[in-house]
Structure 1
Amino acid sequence: MYLSAKQTVLLGQIMQTLAEPHEEQEIRELVGDLVMQLLGAQFYASFVWQPEQLRFGKALQINMDSENLRSYERYYQFNDPITPHMQRFQVAVRATDVLAHEELVKTEFFNDFLQKDGLYWGVNLYAWHQGRNLGDMRIWRDRRRDNFSDDELRLLDMLQPAFVTALARAQSGHDVQALKLNTLAERLTPREQDIARLVMLGRSDKEISRELQIASTTVRTHLENTFRKVGVGNRSTLIHKLRT
């Protein structure tokens, strides 16, 4: 796979952004803009699947009409001949991989929704984590461009693990802070409390290191200090002692 100098720089910027502690929506928007540039695309949208309502929500867009996107949320997502099939893929997938383009252009979805913004060739990437869809990237080109190549799909696939990790980290951060500890936690520093909460959520030292962006040896030091202050010798006893 050949990358231009510009693509190499953009790829580095994407990986750096995914490693930084952004909010979930910021990740989808910041990375979406960079990925759009990386692939030479002009349009971008991103949603999060809401399994309770069986619909996509939390929409954001770049270079698309906001009202048109709202029409997708209200109507077209329920009359969408491609996205339900694309969502099943664990890798980057083109619209033409699930429906021939000559068939897509005959649909209401294409003529009354996609064409309003000039969307012609599309590729989607979904962030799946433990059976849950954390968000997606929907990247489109207009009809003057070519369809996305196999190499471009592989490029997106290279980004997917970091994209999933970043979204999972951002979303679990809210869960972590919501997890209440009992009064024994008053003996711990704020950082030790954060690590204790992550232990209670079943995170390994390596996962805690990645989520808090600290070295694994630092995690272990904080954890040993936590064990000593709470008076326990292992993770399971710590969890039991700190539950409210």
Structure 2
Amino acid sequence: MQANPMDMTSAELDLFAQIIWRLRTGGAGDEVRQQVLGDVTQLLRADFGASYLWDSSRVRSTRCAAVNIDTRMLRAYDEHIHVKDSVTPMLRARQHATCVDDVIDRRTLERSEHYGDFLKPCGMHHGVNVFFFNQGKDVGDLRIWRSARQPQFGGRELSLLNTLTPYFQKALAVESPLGGALSPRERAVVEHVAEGRSDKEIARLMSISFTTVRTHLKNAMLKTGSSNRTELAMRAGLR
């Protein structure tokens, strides 16, 4: 099933081509999925986007990248709300682009704790997900959402995601090499992060600039393959 060019503006056609180019040339999968997530969200005319990588040892999705989703809500999802999420496992089992309403009745969804504790507070109402597999291995996903004021996703969006799927499968199968051990300074910053301190607080406590704190955080995330502060603390062994 191929995307119909007539369903895209000229700007969207350019964006579609750019996404494919990045997936083919962007390097290791963990970096490239974060690079294209915003573009995919825009291409699907959506309001929110998220992408996770599957951790088989923990049997759950991790290393979230997100667009327009409150980081506090993402942290809450990672810490406890994910156990209430009965929708994602059903979508993952499909292994192709699927609208949320195709796996669960809308009334049932809106009465669920997952919706009440996470989706609704984030403003996410209509969803479409796709999970990518390479040689039977789950290599990542896209979870795209629209607000209640937007229409439900349809054939256009499913077609686009299914067309992009083989490119994502190949790109995400390339694992990102970790960049080595954390330096003492990077480790100190991560320790403060694990204790819930803001970047400004860390800068003050360590007597370094705000920009330096951000640089240490960026390097630590690259080295550990983390995409958010909670995951960084976990991968550094501090949670």
TM-score by length of 2: 0.69
* CA deviations over 1:23-81 (Å, ceiling 9, x no partner): 32221112211111101111111111111111111112111011111111111211112
**Aligned counterpart in structure 1 of residue 17 of structure 2, from 7, 12, 19:** 12
Conserved? CA contact 2:91–2:103, under 8 Å: yes
Counterpart in the other structure of 1:159: 164
Conserved? CA contact 2:81–2:117, under 8 Å: no
Counterpart in the other structure of 1:38: 43
Question: 1:101: how far off?
Answer: 1.3
Counterpart in the other structure of 1:48: 53
Percent identical among aligned pairs is 34
**Residue identity in the other structure for 2:43:** L
Counterpart in the other structure of 2:190: none
Conserved? CA contact 1:92–1:126, under 8 Å: yes
Q: CA RMSD in A?
A: 1.5
Distance 1:23 1:131 in 2: 19
Q: In the TM superposition, what are the counterparts of 1:1-244 in structure 2 within 5 Å?
A: 1=4, 2=6, 3-168=8-173, 170-171=174-175, 174=177
Aligned-partner SS, 1:128: strand
Conserved? CA contact 1:126–1:136, under 8 Å: yes
Aligned-partner SS, 2:93: coil
Aligned-partner SS, 1:87: helix
Aligned-partner SS, 1:88: helix
Question: 1:174: how far off?
Answer: 4.2
Conserved? CA contact 1:127–1:134, under 8 Å: yes
**Residue identity in the other structure for 1:16:** W
Relative contact order: is structure 1 or structure 2 higher (C-alpha 8 Å, sep ≥ 6)?
A: 2
**Residue identity in the other structure for 1:101:** R
Conserved? CA contact 1:94–1:122, under 8 Å: yes
Question: 1:22: how far off?
Answer: 2.6
Conserved? CA contact 2:85–2:114, under 8 Å: yes
Distance 1:57 1:36 in 2: 19
Runs of 5+ unmatched residues, structure 2 = 179-239
**Residue identity in the other structure for 2:23:** L
**Residue identity in the other structure for 2:72:** E
**Residue identity in the other structure for 1:109:** H
TM-score by length of 1: 0.68
Runs of 5+ unmatched residues, structure 1 = 176-244
Distance 1:142 1:12 in 2: 26
Rg comparison, structure with higher value? 1
Distance 2:81 2:61 in 1: 11
**Residue identity in the other structure for 1:78:** V
Pick closer, same or farther for the CA change 1:21–1:10 going to 2, 3 Å: closer
Question: 1:90: how far off?
Answer: 2.0
**Residue identity in the other structure for 1:82:** V
Distance 2:30 2:65 in 1: 8
